[in-house]
Amino acid sequence: MPSARPSKGRGQLCYLWLSVLALGLDFATKWWAQAALHYAMPKPVLPFLNWTLLYNPGAAFSFLSNQGGWQRWLFSAIALIIAIIIVRLLAKIPRQQHMAAIGLSLILAGALGNVIDRLRFGYVIDFIDVHVAGYHWPAFNIADSVICIGAVLLIWQQLRKSDKSSDKK
């Protein structure tokens, strides 16, 4: 019976190019937002979408944003630990699990994109403002988007994996 664990050096580190690409897109869009937008001044794009430059010193949904600065270091440390774990996981993922490797690579890019902002500025640059009937979703950025896409891909991979194992029974 073949081992579920790949032999040394056979993981999915080849997908790190996707992390670099997503990280570059995140940096480019944040640079654009700071250059083209005025802080907290919405620029309508579509009936449900504005570009609105905002700075988030907290985590998702501005969690702990008014805590005096210590959260910057906590969230940075957590993101760096997650990044190390993801790289180690990528090195161990079997070759046939492409969806998981893509998902982890996207999560890695998002985590690094936001932690770099947090370390450089003390906050994360957000600019995508989605709204419906006057209700605004918390502003986000490309890093947040690729984290969500990566998480969906990981969940999808797991669901497909459990479907295949239940079919064998």
Annotation marks residue 144 as catalytic: yes
b/e map of 115-142 (b: 16 or more CB within 10 Å)? bbbbeeeebbbbbbbeeeeeeeeebbbb
Residue 9 phi/psi, 5-degree rounding, is: 85, 5
CA angle 7, 12, 15 (to 5 degrees): 160
Annotation marks residue 126 as catalytic: yes
For the chain, report the end-to-end CA distance as a whole number of angstroms: 18
Rounded Cα–Cα distance for residues 129 and 136 (Å): 7
107 touches 17 (CB < 8 A): no
Rounded Cα–Cα distance for residues 83 and 95 (Å): 20
List 126, 129, 163, 167, catalytic entry: 126
Rounded Cα–Cα distance for residues 149 and 22 (Å): 11
The residues carrying an active-site annotation are 126, 144
